[in-house]
Amino acid sequence: MGQFFSSRRSTNGSANERGPLLGSSSQAANPNRGDPPTQKQLEEHAKHERVRAGIGAAIVAIFILAVVLVSYFVSDGLPGDPLEAALVVLGRAPVIDGHIDLPILVRGIYSNNVSSFDLNYPMPGHVDIPRLREGRVGGFFWSAYVGCTDDRPDFLKPTNQVRDTLEQIDLARQIIAHYPETFQLVTNVDELQAAIRDGKIASLIGIEGAHQLGNSLGVLRTYKELGVKYLTLTHTCHNAFADSCGYLEWMPPRHGGLSHLGETLIKELNRLGILVDLSHTSDSTARQAIQLSEAPVIWSHSSARAVWNVARNVPDDVLKLIGEKKGQKDGLIMVNFAPQFVAAEGFANVQRVADHIDHIANVTGKRHVGIGSDFDGIASVPRGLEDVSKYPQLFAELRSRGWSRFDLAGLAGTNLFRVMQGAEDVAREKQRDNVIPAWDIYRKRRDIGPGKSGDVVGDLTDEL
Ligand SMILES: [Zn+2]
């Protein structure tokens, strides 16, 4: 648009120039130029001089205007200093982080007691309200994380994972409610945008692994009612639904990607409008989920394997499935800051995190990259990205690499708006088509069905 506008200007400029040039050449062809000039000729000459001087001034003015316009559009109208430019962009389009672990920090340090700390004052981790404001944060996903246990081969070992997930969801909701001037729980893109417009820090909830479902789609639907917006398919263990990538090293698969129940899970997530999160999953799980999901997918906190080769990062052949070309799926890779996923030990810093973002943007396009720091869930941090107050530094680094105001706004949050809208549109379609909930039961469960309940209903069924 900027180029179009300035080229129209210069065309007009040269059209103005043409008239007097033709005029002076016709004067040069005057056959009487050897005779002394008449009064009329002198007057005409003076008039031409005045016109020429006027035109010269106009050309200079147009030239200056063109230079100003070109430099305005080249710089997006942003300040020349990259940090100042980043702050201007983030003032309009604040950061929405895909993964922050404040609830597990509070569980570990404060035993889930919301009245035993004050987020208005410095917290021991990477997150508190003053630093969120300083970092231009407009929203984040509160991770309702519960660690997975290696309960192979059947994933039937009884655990407290569902109880602990409910406690993590409750804790997130209690903290959000405790600071109503700051936080607002949101569950869809309209609420997200409205909360940001109101100056709130929009608060979304994500579940970090399908092991937290207790092998049950009914539990998933209940989580949705409590405000859950994304489900990471696995954490660092395999589960009944899908294979994990492990941690730094690749882990031998259990299902070869998604299990049959995992395929049903993807369809149920689409129906519910819960985002399919592929962070932590194996490459096969990711590929199959991308193919199966009708809705856009996300990686809530994952970086690029081509930049730093660990299993936990996303390889290029998977990244290439994301985009806007035919056969690609819309999606968003929200880049993780955890130093062990960014660079060799001691080398993670703002520039290396920006390398991951740049690389993913080069493969998928800038409309498919976001931020998923993992703050409060990581033991160490990159230099220059020590906590949530430092996001503008990362945006300044990308600005100095030529990212436009639109690219930076997309990275901060508007790309997420599009992906959420896509998932919500799919869910709305399913509701319109009266797609029923999935009633599949994990095939290895032996505690459900006629005579299996071990309670009155089971006994009655036996009698029938
Ligand atoms: Zn994680």
Any idea what the CATH number is for the domain that residue 93 is in?
Answer: 3.20.20.140
Q: What is the pLDDT along the chain (464 residues), one digit of tens a residue?
A: 333 333 333 333 333 333 333 333 334 344 444 566 677 777 777 777 777 777 777 777 777 676 555 555 556 899 999 999 999 999 999 999 999 999 999 999 999 999 999 999 999 999 999 999 999 999 999 999 999 987 777 999 889 999 999 999 999 999 999 999 999 999 999 999 999 999 999 999 999 999 999 999 999 999 999 999 999 999 999 999 999 999 999 999 999 999 999 999 999 999 999 999 999 999 999 999 999 999 999 999 999 999 999 999 999 999 999 999 999 999 999 999 999 999 999 999 999 999 999 999 999 999 999 999 999 999 999 999 999 999 999 999 999 999 999 999 999 999 999 999 999 999 999 999 999 999 999 999 988 888 776 554 444 444 44
Q: What pTM did the predictor assign?
A: 0.84
301 is catalytic: yes
Distance CA 296, CA 421 (A): 9
- Buried b vs exposed e over 162-182: b needs ≥16 C-beta within 10 Å? bebbbbbbebbbebbeebeeb
Whether 172 is in a domain gets the answer: yes
Q: How far does the centroid of ligand 1 lie from the alpha carbon of residue 184, in Å?
A: 23
Query: Which one from 126, 238, 280, 359 is the annotated catalytic residue?
Result: 280
Whether 450 is in a domain gets the answer: no
Query: Which one from 76, 128, 211, 235 is the annotated catalytic residue?
Result: 235
Q: At what angle do helices 161-178 and 102-110 cross, to 10 degrees?
A: 100
Token pair, residue 265, equals 């899970």
Q: How far does the centroid of ligand 1 lie from the alpha carbon of residue 208, in Å?
A: 7
Q: How far does the centroid of ligand 1 lie from the alpha carbon of residue 312, in Å?
A: 9
235 is catalytic: yes
Whether 354 is in a domain gets the answer: no
Q: What pLDDT sits at residue 213?
A: 98
Q: What pLDDT sits at residue 53?
A: 74
SS3 of residue 373 by DSSP: coil
Q: How far does the centroid of ligand 1 lie from the alpha carbon of residue 362, in Å?
A: 24
Query: Which one from 97, 101, 294, 358 is the annotated catalytic residue?
Result: 101
Q: Are residues 173 and 233 in the same domain?
A: yes
Q: Are residues 15 and 143 in the same domain?
A: no
Distance CA 245, CA 234 (A): 9
Q: Are residues 61 and 136 in the same domain?
A: no
Q: How far does the centroid of ligand 1 lie from the alpha carbon of residue 236, in Å?
A: 8
Are 155 and 239 in contact by the 8 Å Cβ rule? The answer is yes
The angle subtended at Cα 221 by Cα 186 and Cα 191, nearest 5°, is: 15
190 is catalytic: no
Whether 329 is in a domain gets the answer: no
Distance CA 207, CA 374 (A): 13
Query: Which one from 97, 99, 126, 330 is the annotated catalytic residue?
Result: 99
Distance CA 398, CA 410 (A): 12
Residue ranges of alpha helices (H) inside 273-414 are 283-292, 316-319, 339-342, 350-364, 391-400, 405-409
Q: How far does the centroid of ligand 1 lie from the alpha carbon of residue 369, in Å?
A: 17
Q: How far does the centroid of ligand 1 lie from the alpha carbon of residue 53, in Å?
A: 70
Distance CA 384, CA 98 (A): 19
178 is catalytic: no
Residue 97: is it exposed, middle or buried by C-beta count within 10 angstroms (0-12/13-18/19+)?
Answer: buried
Q: Are residues 6 and 56 in the same domain?
A: yes
Distance CA 300, CA 314 (A): 12
Whether 455 is in a domain gets the answer: no
Q: How far does the centroid of ligand 1 lie from the alpha carbon of residue 235, in Å?
A: 7
Token pair, residue 282, equals 């194996």
Q: Are residues 164 and 281 in the same domain?
A: yes
SS3 of residue 238 by DSSP: coil
Q: How far does the centroid of ligand 1 lie from the alpha carbon of residue 120, in Å?
A: 26
Whether 391 is in a domain gets the answer: no
Query: Domain tally for the chain?
Result: 2
Query: Which one from 211, 255, 301, 356 is the annotated catalytic residue?
Result: 301
Q: Are residues 55 and 125 in the same domain?
A: no
Q: Are residues 151 and 275 in the same domain?
A: yes
Whether 317 is in a domain gets the answer: no
Closest CA to 243 of 277, 283, 193: 283
Q: How far does the centroid of ligand 1 lie from the alpha carbon of residue 280, in Å?
A: 7
Whether 321 is in a domain gets the answer: no
374 is catalytic: yes
Q: Are residues 169 and 58 in the same domain?
A: no
Q: Are residues 70 and 115 in the same domain?
A: no
Distance CA 350, CA 347 (A): 10
Q: How far does the centroid of ligand 1 lie from the alpha carbon of residue 306, in Å?
A: 19
Q: What pLDDT sits at residue 241?
A: 98
Query: Which one from 355, 374, 387, 397 is the annotated catalytic residue?
Result: 374
Distance CA 341, CA 126 (A): 18
154 is catalytic: no
Query: Which one from 76, 97, 208, 407 is the annotated catalytic residue?
Result: 208
Looking at the DSSP assignment, which residues form a beta bridge with residue 314? 304
Q: What pLDDT sits at residue 459?
A: 47
Q: Are residues 66 and 86 in the same domain?
A: no
Question: Which phi and psi (to 5°) does residue 140 adopt?
Answer: -160, 160
For 8, the domain range is: 1-21+44-74
Q: What pLDDT sits at residue 2?
A: 33
Q: How far does the centroid of ligand 1 lie from the alpha carbon of residue 249, in Å?
A: 15
Q: Are residues 87 and 226 in the same domain?
A: yes
Token pair, residue 369, equals 């990259």
Q: Are residues 13 and 155 in the same domain?
A: no
